[in-house]
Amino acid sequence: MRHLLSCADLDLASTNALLDLAEEMQQVQSRSVKKLPALRGRTVVNIFFEDSTRTRTSFEIAGKWLSADTINVSAKGSSVSKGESLRDTMMTLDAMGVDAFVIRHASSGAAAQVASWVKAQVINAGDGQHEHPTQALLDAFSMRQHFRRIGAEGFAGKKVAIVGDVLHSRVARSNVLLQQILGSDVVLVAPPTLVPTGVNEWDCEVTGDFDTVLPEADIVMMLRVQRERMAGGFFPTEREYTERYGLTPERLAKMKPGAAICHPGPMNRGVEISSAAADAANSLVLEQVAAGVAIRMSVLYHLLGSEEGAIR
C-alpha cells in the first residue's frame, strides 16, 4: 500500500497489523525518551486546508516521535490565500523532495486527486464528506481495547450504532468500511434529512429510530452535528434533534451493560451528547484521543518505514 486514502485500501490483515503496532506505540507515550529512529531522514508535510487541532497535532507528534521531519502548512498565510490552485501548491511542495503528505481538504476526493499528481505518499486526514481513515482506525483501536477489558471476543457479531449527522460525516463513511472489514454489524441512525443518498450501497442497516437500536448496541458512536456544513433546514431545532437523536442521560441509562460510547470530537455538549454521557465511565472519548498519536505512528511507520512502502 502506497497511500492511505480510504478505509477501502485496507483488508483484515493490514487493519490488524496497524492496530497491533499502535498498541506497541502506546508504550512510547509513557517513556521518558519518546523517540524511535524508524523514519529518520523522512520528511512529512502536514497540509491542512481545514481547521483541525487534534488530527494535525497528533500527526505532527507521531511523525516527530518516529524521527521524521514534520512540517505544518496551513492554508491561511500560505500561497493558497494568494489564489494558487491546489495542484500548483502540491506540485510545488512535492518538488522540494517531500516523502509524504498528510492532507485535509474540504473537498471530497481531494486526497486521491493529490495522490495522482505528486511523487510523495499521501495520507488522507479528512477529505470533505468523504473519508477520514485514521479516525476510523483509532475508533477501532479504542473499541478493541474496550472489548478486551470486558472479556469479549473481537468485533465479530458486535453491533455498532453510528448516530446522527451521517450525511456530512467522513468519520461515518470510514467507520462503516472499517467496521465491515472487522466483522461487526453497523447500524446507521439518522434523521431522514441527514441520510446520504446512495446509502443502500453501503450494505448496512439504516434507521431513524434511535430508541429501538440503543438497547442492542455494543458501541454507540455519536457523530458531531456539523453546524459549519449546515446551511440550515436539516432539522427544525437543535432541541428537537437532541430529543430524538441525542445521547441524553435518559438514553444513557438504557444502554446495554458493557456497551461503550464513542465520539470523534469535538463534542457539542448538550446537542448530540449530554455531559452525563460524555463523561460516563463507559465513555471512550478520552481514550480515542490518546489512541490518536499511536495509530498515526503506526500508519506512518507502515507507509514510510520501508522503501517498498507496503503493509504486509
Partner 1 sequence: MADPATNTPTPQVSRVVADASEVARVLARMAHEILEANHGAENLLVLGIPTRGVHLARRLAKLIGDIEGHPVRLGELDITMYRDDLRANPTRNPARTSIPGSIDDAVVVLVDDVLYSGRTIGAAFDALRDLGRPKAVRLAVLVDRGHRELPISADTVGRTIQAATDERVSVLVSELDAADAITITRTGRA
Q: Is there binding between residue 36 and partner 1 (CB under 8 A)?
A: yes
Number of residues that bind partner 1 (CB under 8 A): 23
According to CB under 8 A, which residues from 61 to 80 bind partner 1? 66
Cα dihedral 246, 247, 248, 253, rounded to 10, equals 150
In the complex with partner 1, which residue's Cβ is closer, 263 or 302?
302
Residue 154 DSSP one-character state: S
CA 5 to CA 124: how far, in whole Å?
5
List 2, 8, 17, 74, residue binding partner 1 (CB under 8 A)? 17
Contacts of 142 (CB under 8 A, 6+ apart): 262, 284, 287, 288, 291
Binding-site member from 11, 29, 31, 149 for partner 1 (CB under 8 A): 31
Contact between 97 and partner 1 per CB under 8 A: no
Q: Which residue has the cell 472487522?
A: 182
Considering only 21, 110, 172, 187, the residue that binds partner 1 (CB under 8 A) is 21
Indicate whether 32 belongs to the interface with partner 1 (CB under 8 A): yes
The contacts of residue 10 (CB under 8 Å, 6+ apart) are 1, 4, 18, 133, 178, 181, 311
- Considering only the stretches 90-98, 138-146, 256-264, 299-307, report the one whose residues sit in contact with partner 1 under the rule CB under 8 A: 299-307
Q: Which of 11, 12, 24, 243 binds partner 1 (CB under 8 A)?
A: 24
170 binds partner 1 (CB under 8 A): no
Residues sharing a CB contact under 8 Å with residue 26, sequence separation 6 or more, in sequence order: 290, 291, 294
Contact string 251-290 vs partner 1 (x = CB under 8 A): ----------------------------------------
| Candidate residues 77, 237, 281, 312; the one interacting with partner 1 per rule CB under 8 A | 312
Residue whose entry in the numeric block shows the C-alpha cell 499511536: 294
Print the SS3 string covering 243-281. HHHCECHHHHHCCCCCCEEECCCCCCECCCECHHHHCCC
| List of residues contacting partner 1 (CB under 8 A) | 17, 20-21, 24, 27, 31-33, 35-38, 66, 301-302, 305-312
